[in-house]
Amino acid sequence: MTDPDVLTEVPAALKRLAKYVVRGFYGIEHALALDILIRNPCVKEEDMLELLKFDRKQLRAVLNTLKGDKFIKCRMRVETAPDGKTTRHNYYFINYRLLVNVVKYKLDHMRRRIETDERDSTNRASFKCPICFSTFTDLEANQLFDPRTGTFRCTFCETEVEEDESAMPKKDARTLVARFNEQIEPIYALLRETEDVNLAYEILEPEPTEIPALKQRWEQA
């Protein structure tokens, strides 16, 4: 008996999540390849070649990138032809549970990097000595100030320091995280919508399927 909470069909929100991510962070070739796997649960490499009209080397590069980033999985099957000859074929599919976890991890990693850059930009040296090249932060400005001359002087060689333009905070550094969250909000919304989705095993690890358009084409041929 099937658990009523276990879905036997991939929700539209999960499919949209896969499309948004690959179109936002990868090239058009990757988006086209993933679209085929979104529409067809488990597809043979030769069928993808026929549909996409890529050369094999190009398709392998695209699939290896998506597989390396854990957006898709690959299964190899040994098949026997009518003449008794056996051949190996690669089948590709999306494990949506893995895809969701990967998307969460990658977005969190990107956000942490932006936050780190933001912190670094506010803690960098703001003053530099033109003689001994010592650098000082904004927090050390009170130690550099010379009340006799009204200038900021190096604590090592007493030369008047200069503002270090190369170490100035990045433009709009403080707004980077907010901008990132705003741009990624559609993906966050889909992640929240699919948070409690529980897919059946046969959906997560699907069996190969025939593509109707290709089957019809071969029958006509």
pLDDT given for residue 181 in this prediction: 87
Q: Is residue 6 part of a domain?
A: no
Q: Is residue 109 part of a domain?
A: yes
Q: Is residue 193 part of a domain?
A: no
Q: Is residue 4 part of a domain?
A: no
Q: Is residue 120 part of a domain?
A: yes
| Paired tokens of 32 | 């086209």
Q: Is residue 202 part of a domain?
A: yes
Q: The CATH number of the domain where 152 resides is what?
A: 3.30.40.10
Distance CA 145, CA 92 (A): 66
140 in the same domain as 119: yes
111 in the same domain as 48: no
CA 215 to chain CA centroid, nearest Å: 34
Q: Is residue 187 part of a domain?
A: no
The total number of structural domains that make up the chain: 2
pLDDT given for residue 122 in this prediction: 63
pLDDT given for residue 1 in this prediction: 40
129 in the same domain as 72: no
pLDDT given for residue 76 in this prediction: 92
Smallest CA-to-CA distance from 63 within 88, 45, 39 is with 45
| Paired tokens of 151 | 């200038």
Q: What is the pTM for the complete model shown?
A: 0.73
85 in the same domain as 144: no
- For helices 45-52 and 56-68, the axis angle rounded to 10 degrees is 120
Q: Is residue 188 part of a domain?
A: no
pLDDT given for residue 100 in this prediction: 95
pLDDT in tens, the chain (221 residues): 445 589 999 999 999 999 999 999 999 999 999 999 999 999 999 999 999 999 999 999 999 999 999 999 999 988 887 788 888 999 999 999 999 999 999 999 998 888 887 776 665 658 899 999 998 887 788 889 888 888 899 999 999 999 877 655 555 555 788 888 888 999 999 999 998 899 999 999 999 887 766 766 655 55
pLDDT given for residue 185 in this prediction: 93
According to DSSP, the β-strands at 135-136 and 127-128 are antiparallel
pLDDT given for residue 148 in this prediction: 87
Backbone angles phi, psi at 168, to 5 degrees: -65, 150
74: containing domain:
12-94+198-219
Q: The CATH number of the domain where 84 resides is what?
A: 1.10.10.10
208 in the same domain as 175: no
